[in-house]
Amino acid sequence: MILITGGMKSGKSTFALNMALKYTKRAFLATGVPFDEEMRLRIEKHKAERKELFDTFEEPVNVTEVLKNIDNNYDVILFECLTTYLGNLYYYQLDVQERIDGLVDVLSNMSSDVIVVTNEVGWGIIPENPIARQYAEILGKTNTRLAKLAKEVYLVVSGIGVRIK
């Protein structure tokens, strides 16, 4: 597994896409849901960037099942992104910790290479509400767990990926 992290709009997605293009057989696991116009436009932009170069699987919450089903069928699976997936778990009021634990377990047993894109959300001000603070804490702890499992970790800043592991 390769973990790619960074701030919002730091260039993580483009960096991950370019990394995945080095593989022959590619899958893209998209977690975004077009809840509003801004998100719809963001999803369309990502689709245009990857063109027809990936087999795309769109799944907002049952990502572990998708990963298990497509493992071994692709050289690489680009999972975009953990941050949105976690938000979806909150939105649909699912058992967040159970789903995250399941995801970490599946990722630790994958045969295909997996590139996971996530965000560093703890570098700003502390959120003013308990749910946002819990979200930031769970994402940070999950990023830490995945970084320990990953063979490579990159921090993307201003479009530049810096290998930190």
DSSP string, 117-165: E----TTSPPPSSHHHHHHHHHHHHHHHHHHHH-SEEEEEETTEEEE--
Q: Active-site residue among 46, 87, 116, 121?
A: 46
Residue located via tokens 């896409």: 17
Q: Is 151 tagged catalytic?
A: no
User: Is 115 in contact with 154 (CB distance < 8 Å)?
Assistant: no
Active-site positions read 46
